[in-house]
């Protein structure tokens, strides 16, 4: 079923031309009207200021509780004002839609409106992004690259953490990567490549992204009036901008920038940012935040998003459900749930054949909310124990890391006779001795016994000898 398409373009006289196509029945139902651009901009700025104020007040006393309630009410009030200005003619019709697995809202918008927080639209009863899977597509006159070839298993997932080596966020990044890893390692169809800190530089990123299915980044974003310095903050002040990715071949199918304000008003001021560049190169879905994030909320949303994707949810519904889990766990006054916006195809699945990568029964909403709340309580009461618990102490299994590289790359890796991925690759294995085999067609097999310790990370560099 085609998504409900809400098209918003800028026309002369400071107006927005709005139309909605429900794609229902033999004759499509299309309605058109105009809204005031200045009003939409004004409400969006008010929301930005309210969000900034809410994120600066994390207190837990009575006064803070009253402030949180006030923030919640103001978010709904401004969300309703934005809804009435943009979609006022469709209030009753949208409320009559029954949200289900086939219901999507796709906002097709001018690039100059990319920062508008449509996820905050509130119809008087509920936020639209809580009811529906939402996404946005940006109008552009620029040509797109040919569609990338479909990936084949094992699907490579590249997870990169804070190349800037900022000690103030190192623990948050570590917790996020641990949470993501604990979800993704449940699937044997995924090949994880995890790298953090100083090993993640411009060269590393440009050589690792091609051919990947998922690119997940956790760290600092950089926003500057110089578009060449807007993007991912690397070490020693370097920045990976959209310009650096303009020639990217075989881009990741999915990109998730879990960094502050990657899709903010300022980030869209340049001519071509990270999001737009990847979409033009062939990335099918990109998630980024409109404003700053609270780290615990951001970690929970990321891990739940991948959890739902492994159960074969579409990207739009996986993000909607993860958004709800965060809102239930931390409250709607914490605007992190609304920060995330999906650019691209909301009906995309992690793998195209429609099979769950890891099948298990999904708990109901109330149980999911309870589990999310339990995570929140654990973060608050036992902050120093979280990483150890997630890293496997609960099961009394001590793990270490193997960084495996080869010359040439893209060689098949077997650990103790089990295929785990292709070089370059970071494997998580139990400490002790492991038999590592690296092989590539046309080259002699490389094999060695490697001792893996909890720290430091074991690094294997295999030089494969070509068969004459």
For the chain, which residues make up each domain, given as ranges? 4-138, 155-390, 398-463
pLDDT of 59 reads: 53
For domain 4-138, the question of CATH label 3.30.420 is answered with yes
Res 28 pLDDT > 60: no
Mean pLDDT of all residues in the chain? 83
Q: What is the mean pLDDT of residues 48-58?
A: 87
Q: Rounded mean pLDDT of 304-323?
A: 94
Alpha-carbon gap, residue 315 to 344, rounded angstroms:
10
How far is residue 135's CA from residue 287's CA, in Å, rounded to a whole number? Answer: 9
Integer-rounded Cα Rg, in Å, for the chain is 23
The CA-CA-CA angle for residues 421, 424, 427, to 5°, reads: 55
- For residue 328, give the nearest of 369, 300, 367 by alpha carbon: 369
CATH architecture of 398-463: Sandwich (2.60)
Between CA 343 and CA 106 the distance in angstroms is: 9
Residue 258 pLDDT: 94
Q: Which is higher by pLDDT, 426 or 117? A: 117
Q: Is 232 exposed, middle or buried, given 0-12, 13-18 or 19+ CB atoms closer than 10 A?
A: buried
Output the pLDDT for position 211.
92
Summarised one tens digit per residue, pLDDT across range 191-203 is: 999 999 888 999 9
CATH node for 155-390:
3.40.50.1460
Contact 159, 194 (CB under 8 A): yes
Q: Give the pLDDT band of residue 269 (cuts 50, 70, 90).
A: confident
pLDDT band at residue 359, thresholds of 50, 70 and 90?
Answer: very low
**What is the pLDDT, as a whole number, of residue 394?**
36
3-state secondary structure the chain: CCCEEEEEEEECCCEEEEEEECCCCCCCCEEEEEEEHHHHHHHHHHHHHHHHHHHCCCCCCHHHHHHHHHHHHHHHHHHHHHHHHHHHHHHHHHHHCCCCCCCEEEEEECHHHCCCCHHHCECCCCEHHHHCEEEEEECCCCCCCCCCCCCCCCEEEEEEECCCCCCCCHHHHHHHHHHHHHHHCCCCCEEEEEEEHHHCCHHHHHHHCCCCCEEEEECCEECCCCHHHCEEECHHHCEEEHHHHCCCCCCCCEEEEECCCCCCCCCCCCCCCHHHHHHHHCCCEEEEECCCCCHHHHHHHHHHHHHHHHCCCCHHHHHHHHHHHHHHHHCCCCCHHHHEEEEECCCCCCCCCCCCCCCCCCCCHHHHHHHHHHHHHHHHHCCCCHHHHHCCHHHCCCEEEEEEEEECCCCEEEECCEEEEECCEEEEEECEEEEEEEECCCECCEEEEEEECCCCCEEEEEECCECC
Residue 461 has pLDDT above 80, yes or no: no
Query: Is the pLDDT higher at 267 or at 78?
Result: 78
Do the domains 398-463 and 4-138 match in fold?
no
- Between these two residues, 267 and 390, which has the higher pLDDT value? 267
pLDDT for position 23 = 77
pLDDT per residue as tens digits for the range 105-127: 999 999 889 999 999 999 999 99
Structure confidence at residue 143 as a pLDDT band (50, 70, 90)? low
Checking if the pLDDT of 400 tops 90, the result is no
Region 313-332: mean pLDDT is 93
């Amino acid at each position: 079923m085609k998504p409900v398409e809400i098209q918003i373009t800028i026309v002369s006289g400071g107006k927005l031309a709005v139309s909605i196509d429900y794609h229902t029945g033999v004759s499509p139902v299309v309605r058109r009207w105009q809204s005031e651009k200045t009003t939409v901009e004004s409400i969006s700025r008010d929301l930005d200021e309210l969000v900034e104020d809410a994120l600066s007040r994390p207190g837990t006393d009575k006064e803070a509780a009253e402030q949180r309630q006030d923030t919640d009410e103001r978010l709904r009030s401004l969300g309703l004002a934005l809804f009435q200005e943009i979609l006022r003619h469709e209030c009753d019709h949208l409320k009559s839609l029954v949200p289900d697995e086939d219901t999507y809202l796709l906002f097709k918008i001018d690039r100059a409106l990319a920062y508008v927080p449509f996820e905050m639209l509130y119809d008087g009863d509920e936020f639209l992004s809580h009811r529906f899977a939402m996404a946005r597509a940006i109008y552009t006159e620029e040509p797109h690259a040919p569609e990338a070839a479909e990936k084949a298993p094992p699907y490579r997932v590249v997870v990169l953490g804070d190349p800037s080596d900022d000690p103030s966020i190192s623990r948050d990044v570590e917790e996020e990567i641990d949470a993501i890893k604990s979800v993704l390692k449940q699937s044997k169809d995924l090949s994880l490549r995890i790298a953090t800190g100083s090993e993640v530089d411009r060269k590393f990123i440009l050589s690792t992204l091609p051919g990947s299915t998922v690119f997940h980044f956790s760290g600092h974003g950089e926003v500057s009036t110089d578009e060449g310095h807007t993007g991912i903050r690397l070490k020693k002040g370097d920045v990976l901008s959209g310009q650096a990715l303009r020639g990217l071949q075989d881009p990741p199918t999915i990109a998730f920038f879990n960094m502050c304000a990657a899709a903010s008003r300022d980030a869209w001021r340049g001519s071509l940012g990270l999001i737009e560049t990847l979409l033009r190169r062939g990335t099918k879905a990109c998630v980024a935040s409109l404003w700053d994030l609270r780290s615990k909320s951001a970690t929970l949303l990321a891990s739940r998003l991948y959890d739902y994707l492994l159960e074969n949810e579409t990207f739009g519904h996986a993000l909607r459900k993860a958004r709800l889990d965060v809102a239930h766990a931390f409250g709607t006054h914490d605007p992190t749930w609304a920060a995330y916006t999906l650019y691209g195809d909301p009906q995309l699945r992690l793998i195209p054949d429609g099979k769950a990568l890891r099948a298990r029964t999904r708990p109901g909403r109330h149980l999911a909310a309870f589990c999310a709340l339990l995570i929140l309580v654990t973060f608050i009461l036992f902050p120093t124990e979280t990483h150890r618990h997630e890293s496997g102490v609960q099961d009394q299994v001590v793990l270490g890391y193997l960084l495996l590289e080869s010359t040439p790359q893209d060689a098949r890796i077997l650990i103790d006779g089990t295929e785990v991925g292709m070089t370059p690759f970071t494997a998580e294995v139990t400490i002790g001795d492991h038999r590592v085999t690296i092989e590539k067609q046309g080259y002699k097999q490389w094999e060695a016994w490697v001792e893996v310790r909890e720290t430091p990370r074991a690094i294997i560099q295999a030089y494969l000898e070509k068969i004459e």
